[in-house]
């Protein structure tokens, strides 16, 4: 079983829809949770970062972390065609943990927002 | 100018050939990483280096070697390429103690095809 599981999709939604992307994980040492966005033929770029449990909002994007359930989510409101990309969740442990300084990625979800 | 550059961007080689992928960064980061990306598998860590004298294996290091020539340069070698090493390769950098769980910054990728 992978440490981080992410539904690869693909996910296709109409413009304006609310998108929910999710990851589950098994390593309780993970403390840092990130979402990366990767456009076609580009490298991943950091979209959202959250430390420990809780929510974080940035414009149309909201990241949620539920450490008790080992579950993280990314919500995209009012989705736009420019949001079409692959979204990767990533996690790392706190200092002192064996995973510190290394990211463990989910498989990535391919999202298409059509006009 | 790109902060993390990779050369070449595309490479076709034959089974058994030795090839080198190069990564340079101008971000001043001390940590560098090599990943490969395959469809449905996300990003998998090949090697990572926390400073010039520190090299560590990732989860899929077999068949690969690395060299950290300077703080800004980290090269990945395939000593004898095989077809299942066909993939998209990414270099990434991060800085310790930045307060965001070792956020990593990715290069544009090298697309490698082994025939």
User: Containing H/E element for A71?
Assistant: strand A71-76
Contact across the interface for A34 and B90, Cβ inside 8 Å: no
Q: Which residues pair with A57 in a beta bridge?
A: A62
Q: Counting one residue from A and one from B, how many pairs have CB atoms under 8 Å apart?
A: 65
Contact across the interface for B105 and A46, Cβ inside 8 Å: yes
pLDDT digits (tens, 9 = 90+) for B11-61: 999 999 999 999 999 999 989 999 999 987 889 999 999 889 999 999 899
CA distance to A15, A22, A70, A89, A97, per residue, from B32 (Å): 38, 28, 28, 20, 19
pLDDT above 80 (res A101):
no
> For residues B100 and B9, what is the distance between their CA atoms, to the nearest angstrom?
29
pLDDT digits (tens, 9 = 90+) for A19-70: 999 999 999 988 889 999 999 989 999 999 888 888 999 999 999 999 999 9
Q: What are phi and psi of B37, to 5 degrees?
A: -125, 125
Which of A102, A104, A106 should be substituted to probe chain B, the one whose Cβ sees the most B Cβ atoms within 10 Å? Answer: A102
C-beta of residue B51 within 8 angstroms of C-beta of residue B30: yes
CA–chain centroid gap for B79, Å, is 15
């Amino acid at each position: 079983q992978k440490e981080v599981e992410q539904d690869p999709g693909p996910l296709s939604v109409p413009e304006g829809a609310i998108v929910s992307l999710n990851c589950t994980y098994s390593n309780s040492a993970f403390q840092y949770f990130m979402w990366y966005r990767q456009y076609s033929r580009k490298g991943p770029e950091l979209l959202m970062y959250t430390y420990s449990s809780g929510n974080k909002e940035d414009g149309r994007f909201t990241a949620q972390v539920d450490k008790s359930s080992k579950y993280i989510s990314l919500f995209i409101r009012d989705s736009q065609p420019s949001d079409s990309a692959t979204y990767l969740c990533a996690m790392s442990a706190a200092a002192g943990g064996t995973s510190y300084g290394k990211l463990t990625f989910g498989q990535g979800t391919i999202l298409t927002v059509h006009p | 100018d790109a902060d993390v550059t990779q050369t070449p961007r595309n490479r076709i080689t034959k089974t058994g050939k030795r090839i080198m992928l190069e990564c340079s960064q101008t971000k001043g980061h001390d940590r560098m990483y090599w990943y490969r990306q395959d469809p449905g598998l996300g990003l998998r860590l090949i090697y990572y280096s926390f400073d010039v004298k520190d090299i560590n294996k990732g989860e899929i290091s077999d068949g690969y070697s690395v060299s950290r020539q300077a703080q800004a340069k980290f090269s990945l070698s395939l000593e004898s390429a095989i077809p299942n090493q066909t993939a998209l390769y990414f270099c990434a950098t991060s800085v310790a103690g930045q307060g965001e769980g070792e956020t990593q910054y990715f290069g544009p990728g090298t697309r490698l095809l082994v025939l």
